[in-house]
C-alpha cells in the first residue's frame, strides 16, 4: 500500500477498469487515502492480466474498504447499476472512468466490429460514466469530481492505432464539454493523459508499434523510460482532490515530456 497523500475518508470512489494496470493503481491509491473504493470491471480475477490478488482484496488487506462490482462499461445500464451500488455507501463522490481497450490496425485494416468495440468501451463507457455519476451527484447535492483516462493519443497520432487515437480524442472532448456544462453545479470534470506506461494493455501492440527494426523507440522519451501505473495514479488523486477545486476541463499530461519532444 502506498503512503497516504490525500484524505478521502467518507468519500466513495468508483474506478472502472480497476482490476489491472493504471486503473488498479488508481483504485489502490484511493484505498490508501481512506476512500471507499468500488472496482467496476468485467472481472475481479486479475491473473490473466499479470496480477496475483484482486484489487479490492489488496485494499482490504491493507485495512481499507473496497468491493468489486462486475461491470461492462459498454452497457449504460451496467454503469447505472454500479452507481446504484455506490448508494449503499451514500453515493458516488468521485468517478474515475478508466476502463478501456485497444485494437491494433491501420485505416486500411480496421473492421466495423472493431470500431463498434472500441467506440462502445473507450467512448460510450466514458460518456455514460460521466452521465451516471453526474446525475447521482446532482440528485444528492454533492459537489463531486469526475476523472477520465485519456491518453497522449488524444493529441498525437500513432500509425496502426487509428481507433485508439480516435476514441481517446473523443475522451478529451467529452471531458471538456461535460466540464463546461457541470461547472456551475460544482461538479468538476478532468482527465489524465498518460504516455507510454507499462501495463498489460500496452504490452505487445503499442510497444511493438513504437519500436524500429533496431529495437529502439521511434521517438525517445526524454525521461528515458516509460511510466509505471503507480506514477500515473497520483494525477487522478490530485484532480479529484480539494487541492484542485478550481481545476475543471483540464487534461493532465503524464508522459515524461514525450509529446513535446
Task: Give the separation between CA 249 and CA 104, rounded to whole angstroms.
Answer: 29
115 counts as catalytic: no
Q: Are 164 and 202 in contact (CB under 8 A)?
A: no
Q: Are 138 and 147 in contact (CB under 8 A)?
A: no
Q: Looking at 6, 8, 104, 164, which residue is catalytic?
A: 164
Q: Are 191 and 251 in contact (CB under 8 A)?
A: yes
Which residue, 105, 133, 91, 128, is CA-closest to 208? 105
Which residue, 156, 182, 158, 188, is CA-closest to 169? 156
Q: What is the dihedral of CA 38, 39, 42, 44, to 10 degrees?
A: -110
Q: Are 98 and 29 in contact (CB under 8 A)?
A: no
Task: Determine the straight-line distance between the first and last CA of the chain, rounded to whole angstroms.
Answer: 34
Q: Which residues are catalytic?
A: 164
Amino acid at each position: 500500500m502506498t503512503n497516504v497523500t490525500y484524505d478521502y475518508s467518507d468519500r466513495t470512489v468508483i474506478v472502472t477498469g480497476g482490476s489491472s494496470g493504471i486503473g488498479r493503481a488508481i483504485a489502490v491509491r484511493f484505498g490508501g487515502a481512506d476512500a471507499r473504493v468500488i472496482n467496476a470491471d468485467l472481472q475481479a480475477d486479475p491473473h490473466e492480466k499479470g496480477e496475483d490478488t484482486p484489487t479490492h482484496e489488496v485494499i482490504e488487506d491493507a485495512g481499507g474498504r473496497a468491493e468489486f462490482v462486475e461491470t461492462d462499461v459498454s452497457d449504460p445500464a451496467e454503469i447505472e447499476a454500479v452507481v446504484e451500488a455506490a448508494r449503499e455507501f451514500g453515493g458516488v463522490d468521485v468517478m474515475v472512468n478508466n476502463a478501456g481497450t485497444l485494437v491494433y490496425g491501420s485505416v486500411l485494416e480496421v473492421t466495423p466490429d472493431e470500431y463498434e468495440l472500441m467506440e462502445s468501451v473507450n467512448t460510450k463507457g466514458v460518456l455514460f460514466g460521466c452521465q451516471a455519476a453526474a446525475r447521482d451527484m446532482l440528485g444528492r447535492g454533492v459537489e463531486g469530481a469526475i476523472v477520465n483516462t485519456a491518453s497522449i493519443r488524444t493529441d498525437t497520432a500513432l500509425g496502426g492505432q487509428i481507433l485508439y487515437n480516435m476514441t481517446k480524442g473523443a475522451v478529451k472532448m467529452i471531458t471538456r464539454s461535460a466540464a463546461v456544462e457541470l461547472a456551475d453545479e460544482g461538479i468538476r470534470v478532468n482527465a489524465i493523459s498518460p504516455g507510454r506506461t507499462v501495463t498489460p494493455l500496452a504490452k505487445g501492440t503499442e510497444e511493438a508499434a513504437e519500436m524500429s527494426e533496431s529495437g529502439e523507440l521511434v521517438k525517445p522519451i526524454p525521461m528515458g523510460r516509460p511510466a509505471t501505473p503507480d506514477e500515473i495514479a497520483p494525477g487522478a488523486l490530485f484532480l479529484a482532490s480539494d487541492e484542485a477545486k478550481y481545476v475543471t476541463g483540464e487534461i493532465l499530461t503524464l508522459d515524461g515530456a514525450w509529446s513535446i519532444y
